[in-house]
Amino acid sequence: MSVLVDTDTRVVVQGITGGEGKFHTAQMMEYGTNVVAGAVPGRGGQDVEGVPVYDTVHEAAREEDANASVVFVPPAFAADALFEALDSPVDLVVAITEGVPQQDMARVYRRLGETDTHLIGPNCPGLITPGVAKLGILPGNIFAEGNVGLVSRSGTLTYQVVDNLTKRGIGQTTAVGIGGDPIIGTDFVDALELFERDSETDAVVMCGEIGGEDEEEAAAFIGEHMDTPVAGFIAGRTAPPGKRMGHAGAIVSGSGTGTAESKIAALNDAGVPVGDTPNEVADHVEGFL
């Protein structure tokens, strides 16, 4: 099985006529993703890579029975694109766009709470069910079908951990890159809950980083609600307080929370082994299976 993305996923690409949208549409289709439409205001009637383009997501979903959207729209217009997707029939929205203003995301987050839609991102690599479909920019060649779920704030870290798993013959059910911004749609707890309910996910890898308290909250959820074993990794152990490292959300305020040490301690208390390297994460997963 898998979470969020399967053989029934039919994708509309918002921003399909732009350089990034066009390139990654081709990559997704080459992987096997069922991209059925594009949506760009004023571009209805065109086609990209043989995919019909509509003026709105709602029209694309209606005409092509799309149930998921991937957003490749510049930051200044991303909020409008997300509002449009949330007001459409699609039930999964994956926002790849980096640099979306946080005040815009605060408004989007409020609207998200009024829907049943899953939003992944923004500022994320997307998600992939190996051998079935990928929505986003992940390099499909490093993934393999299997029984380990993965959720990560970092795209690059996702690739490192997955590469280690795949080289050991450990495949994945679904990998979800939730993004590293302070305000995102799907967080660790949301993803972990999905994996816990998936009967074919036998273990989960959770890759976090400094900043915020999401990993501590995830640790509490794991300790109280998960039977599926979880292995962890926390990036940013040597980052100085007050300095942002990489993602907009990867900053430690100096309040005693949000540090690598506090996150590792919380995970250890919940019974989650935390690897010092991606290779050690694979060691822990191997021990579960």
Q: Name the residues annotated as catalytic.
A: 247
| Dist. CA 208–CA 206, nearest whole Å | 6
C-alpha 56/C-alpha 39 separation (Å) is 5
Q: What is the full DSSP assignment across 107-127?
A: HHHHHHTTS--EEE-SSS-EE
At 113, list the tokens.
């709470």
Q: How many CB atoms lie within 10 A of CB 142?
A: 19
Within 131-202, strands assigned E span 133-136, 145-152, 172-177
C-alpha triplet 225, 177, 182: angle, nearest 5°: 85
Of 120, 77, 81, 117, which is closest to residue 101 (Cα–Cα)? 77
User: Which stretch of DSSP H or E encloses residue 283?
Assistant: helix 278-288
Query: What's the sign of the alpha-carbon dihedral 70, 197, 207, 29?
Result: negative
**Which amino acid is present at 101?**
P
> Does residue 239 contact residue 252 with C-beta atoms inside 8 Å?
yes
Structure token digits, residue 61: 């979903």
Both tokens of residue 58? 């709602």
Burial of 40 (0-12, 13-18, 19+ CB in 10 A): buried
H-helix or E-strand spanning residue 197: helix 188-197
